[in-house]
Structure 1
Amino acid sequence: MKKILLTVAAISALTFTACSNDDDNTPTTSNLSLNVSGLENLGADYVYEGWIIVGGAPVSTGTFNVNDSGELSQTSFVVDSDMLSSASTFVLSIEPANDSDPAPAATKILAGDFSGSSASITSTGIVGDFSNAAGKYILATPTDGMSNNERSGIWFLDLTGGSPATSLSLPTLSAGWKYEGWVVMNGTPISTGTFTDAAMADDNAATTTFKGDVNDGPAFPGEDYINNAPTGLMFPTDLRGATAVISVEPDPDNSPNPFTLKPLAHGVPADANDHVTYTMGAGPVVQISGTVTR
C-alpha cells in the first residue's frame, strides 16, 4: 500500500511539473498601436494589412478597413511580444479581402523603421517621393483629325520647345503602383489612362473608347474626349474650367475613382487656348504618414 501511495504521488508531481512547464512556455503578447490618417476606403474587395519585419521576414499584425470618413476599423493589434520587440520595421500593404497568399502584396503603402518603442511611417520611401514632382500639359485633340474641338482633349506633354517633349517629372514607382491621369469635369473624374513612363503612351492608348477615329495620338499620356461620354457628360467637350490631376494608383486598382495620393493638379484656366503649354502645381496629397507604437 505504501508503494502504491508513493507511485501516485510521483505521478501527480510529474503531471504538475509538466503543466507548470507548459504554462511557462505560453507565448506572451503585446499590443501594437497604429495612428495614421489619410487612408481611403478600399471597398469590399481589399483590406489594409500590417506587417512587422523580424529577422528579414514579414509577420502579419492583422487586417483592417477604413470607412468613408477615414476612420480605421481597428487601431490596436495583438502581436507576439518577442517578435514585436525584435521587429526592425513596420509595413502597411493593400491586400485582396480573400487572400490565399501569406506573403505581403506588392502594393505597400506605408513603411518605417522602429526606433525604440515607435516607428514613423510614411508613403514617401515605399511608394515614391513626390516632393519634387512637376508637370505640364496642353489641350488638343490629335486623334480625330478635326480642328473645331481642340479643347476637348488633354495631353501631358510640353510644347514650349516647338515639338512635343516629356512634361511630367515623376519618380519611378515601386512595384504595385501606377500613375493615372484625370480630368475632373463638373465634379466627375474621368481617366486619361494609367502609365508608368511619362515618355510613353499610356496603357489604354490604343483601346480607349473616348478617343477619335483617326489615330491613337502622340506617344505621351493623355486622352481625347470625343466619343462615348459617360452618363451626365457630353463629348466632345470643353475642358476649360476643369481640373487636371495626376494620381498614384494601386495595381491592381481598388476603385475606378482616383486614389488618395495625388501629387500633381491644376485648374485648367477659363481662358485656356489649345496647343499652349500649362504648368501643373502640387496636388492635394503628396504623401501619407503616421506612427506605430509597440
Structure 2
Amino acid sequence: MMIKKMFLAILALGFVATSCSSDDDNTSSAPTNSDLVLNLAGLEALGNDFVYEGWIIVDGAPVSTGTFTSVTFPQTFSVNTSDLNSATTFVLSIEPAVDLDPAPAATKILAGDFLGASANVNSDGIVGDFSASTGTYILATPTDTDDTNEESGVWFLDNSSGTGMTGLDLPVLTEGWKYEGWAVLEGTPISTGTFTDPAAADENAATSMFKGDAGNGPGYPGEDYLQNAPTGMTFPTDLRGATIVISVEPSPDNSPMPFTLKPLAHMVPATAMTHTAISMGMGPVATISGSVTRN
C-alpha cells in the first residue's frame, strides 16, 4: 500500500515549513496558480480559536494551501501551479487561529497520496484506524464507600474473568490526539476524563470534581458521578439509559464538547446490572474522509 510512503512524507511536516510563494530570478511576473478543490465530509466547526489548514508535500516539505473555518464543501484554493503539480500528498491539520509557527501543528486529521489529479484522504492512517476497536465497561462507584449508588459510575474495564482487565481495545493515537470518555445524560455529555493509554487511569483520576472522597478508583479510565453535579443535574445519578461514548479529541482541544470522531458508543440498558461487564458497539463516526482534486 501507499500508506507507508504517506507516513514518511507526513513525518517531514514536523521539521520543515515552506512558503506558498516563490520568487523567479530576473522576472517580475507572478507565479502561475491553479485550483485545489477540497470535498470533505464529517468535519466539524472548530470555534473561534482554531482553523483547518491544508498542506501539500512538495519534495518532502509542506507547503500551505490555505486555512478555512467553514465546513461546507466543496471549497477551492489557489495554489502555485508548479508546487501543486509536484505534490505527492495532501494533509489537513488543525491550527491555532493566531499561529506564529509557520510549520504544521502536530494535530493532523486527514491525509492521502495523489494518484494523478486527485487524492482520497481519510483519518485512518493519520489519527488511527478504529475499524477493529472494541470496548467494555462496568457500572460501579469505587471512589466512595457507599454501595447504594453503584449505577452512578462508569469504568472502562472488563471484570468478566473475575479480575479487572483493560476494557478498551483501541489503537495508539498519533501525536496531537487523545481519547476521552463521556456519559451522555439527558442529552448532555459529561466527561469521564482524557487518556492515551486504555490500560491506565485517565488524566483527571486524582483531580476529578465528580468522584467520591474514598480514593481515585481503579487504574483504568472512568468516572464516578457522585458530587458537584453540573447545573440542572443531580448526583448521584443513574446511568442506565444514558449513552456511554469514547471520542478522539484534538490536543490542545478545540471544545469542551465531544469531537466528531466517536469510534465507540453504547446506550446502557435499563436492566443493566452493576459490577457486570457490558460491551460497547461501534460509534457514530469512526473515520473522516473526502477527496482533493488539483486542476
TM-score > 0.5 by shorter chain: yes
Q: CA deviation at 1:92?
A: 0.2
- Is 2:67 the counterpart of 1:63? yes
RMSD (Å), alpha carbons: 1.0
- Is 2:27 the counterpart of 1:22? yes
TM-score, with structure 2 as normaliser: 0.90
The CA distance in 1 between the partners of 2:259 and 2:241, in whole Å, is 22
* Residue identity opposite 1:207 in structure 2: T
- Is 2:177 the counterpart of 1:177? yes
Which residue number corresponds to residue 93 of structure 2? 93
* Residue identity opposite 1:61 in structure 2: T
SS of residue matched to 2:27: helix
SS of residue matched to 2:132: coil
The CA distance in 1 between the partners of 2:167 and 2:242, in whole Å, is 19
SS of residue matched to 1:124: coil
Q: How many residues align?
A: 269
Post-superposition Cα deviations, 1:110-144, rounded to whole Å, max 9, x if no partner, equal: 00000000000000010000000000000000001
- Is 2:36 the counterpart of 1:32? yes
Post-superposition Cα deviations, 1:91-122, rounded to whole Å, max 9, x if no partner, equal: 00000000000000000000000000000000
Q: CA deviation at 1:71?
A: 1.8
The CA distance in 1 between the partners of 2:169 and 2:90, in whole Å, is 29
Post-superposition Cα deviations, 1:181-215, rounded to whole Å, max 9, x if no partner, equal: 00000000000000000000000000010000010
Identical aligned residues as a percent: 67
SS of residue matched to 2:83: helix
The CA distance in 2 between the partners of 1:121 and 1:86, in whole Å, is 18
Which residue number corresponds to residue 245 of structure 1? 245
Q: CA deviation at 1:85?
A: 0.3
Structure 1 runs not aligned, ≥5 long: 1-20
Q: CA deviation at 1:293?
A: 0.3
Max Rg structure: 1
Q: CA deviation at 1:27?
A: 1.2
1:1-294 equivalences under 5 Å are 22=27, 26-66=30-70, 70-72=71-73, 75-294=75-294
Post-superposition Cα deviations, 1:124-175, rounded to whole Å, max 9, x if no partner, equal: 0100000000000000000011101000000000010001100100000000
* Residue identity opposite 2:169 in structure 1: S
The CA distance in 2 between the partners of 1:189 and 1:221, in whole Å, is 16
The CA distance in 2 between the partners of 1:145 and 1:217, in whole Å, is 11
Structure 2 runs not aligned, ≥5 long: 1-25
The CA distance in 2 between the partners of 1:112 and 1:211, in whole Å, is 43
SS of residue matched to 1:22: coil
The CA distance in 2 between the partners of 1:179 and 1:229, in whole Å, is 23
